[in-house]
Amino acid sequence: MTWTKQKPSKPGWYWLLDPSEEPGLPTIVQVFFDWESGRSLAIIPASTPKASVRVQDLRGFDAMWAGPIEIPVVFASVA
């Protein structure tokens, strides 16, 4: 797996390593294109039971990316 600062250019599942987030561990995110707004967005799963899912514009990330990867098993069962 190769890490890069280049943002994903196609929809799919990716590893995201955001240096501004604690504790500095990678997160699996789903990237998709929103036709209505014309933007690429990332769905960031909730990290704790009290947290909620976040949707964020890829332009807002200064992060490292790896992928695309196969759909994670925990998400494949609900897809």
Domain with 40, as residue range(s), is 12-68
CA distance 59 to 10: 14
CA distance 68 to 74: 16
Report how many domains make up the chain.
Answer: 1
Q: What is the pLDDT of residue 73?
A: 74
Residue 73 in any domain: the answer is: no
Residue 75 in any domain: the answer is: no
Q: What is the pLDDT of residue 76?
A: 61
Q: What is the CA 65 to chain-centroid distance, rounded?
A: 8
Residue 78 in any domain: the answer is: no
pLDDT digits (tens, 9 = 90+) for 14-63: 999 988 776 778 888 999 999 998 999 998 876 666 777 888 899 888 89
CA distance 49 to 59: 27
Residue 19 in any domain: the answer is: yes
Supply the pTM of this predicted model: 0.79
Q: What are the DSSP E strand ranges found in the chain?
A: 12-17, 27-34, 39-44, 54-57, 64-69
pLDDT digits (tens, 9 = 90+) for 31-45: 999 999 899 999 887
